[in-house]
Amino acid sequence: MNDRLIGRAGFLGTLIEYYDLHIFTAAAALVFHQLFFPDMNSVMGAMAAFATVGVVFVARPLGSIIFGHFGDRLGRKKTLFVTLLLMGVSTVLVGVLPTAQQVGILAPILLVALRVVQGLAAGGEYAGASLLIAENAPTHSRGRWSCLPNLGGAMSHSLAGVTMLAVTFS
């Protein structure tokens, strides 16, 4: 596979993966306390919503360990596909979750479970993309190519901000 194609794929995969995470964080700040923690006062509800953001940061290192193992055993491309699929499916499921008013305590439990899956997927995707790019980059420019997953993650912040701005003003 072409090193440029691998570099683009690693950049875009990380961009998409972390865009999902950043959109969720913005939504947690704005509406999740009302949807999933309505019985709490606004401060405690916001803290509970942000705790669902925090579980991602606990799960990410575990995801890099778990998917790093499978990437070594089964191949990085297959493992990257699985991580992207897990992130996509869990993000869609977060979008269609019933609220606490509909299913009670089950709603925040499902939300946290899906956030753990997202964290595992993000950790596995980032580690796998970084390694795949570094392994396939030209020897003389390996460092430059290896920054692409970081660049994708950083650009996802901006893209999520623009998306939330567009949603706010529409």
Average pLDDT over residues 5-20: 85
Q: Which residues contact 57 (CB under 8 A, 6 or more apart)?
A: 119
Euclidean distance between CA atoms 60 and 122, whole angstroms: 6
Residue pLDDT, tens place only, 22-68: 888 887 878 888 899 999 998 998 899 889 989 999 999 999 999 99
Least confident of 12-26, 64-78, 89-103, 116-130: 12-26
Per-residue confidence (pLDDT) for residue 55, from 0 to 100 = 94
| Amino acid 1: pLDDT | 60
Question: What proportion of the chain, given as a percentage, has pLDDT over 70?
Answer: 99
| 4 against 107, higher pLDDT | 107
The whole-number average pLDDT for the span 125-130 is 85
Sequence-distant (≥ 6) Cβ neighbours of residue 149 within 8 angstroms: 10, 11, 13, 14, 126, 129, 130, 133
Identify the pLDDT of residue 115: 93
CB atoms within 10 A of CB 48: 18
109-122 per-position pLDDT tens digit: 999 999 999 999 99
Concatenating the DSSP letter of every residue in 4-25 gives HHHHHHHHHHHHHHHHHHHHHH
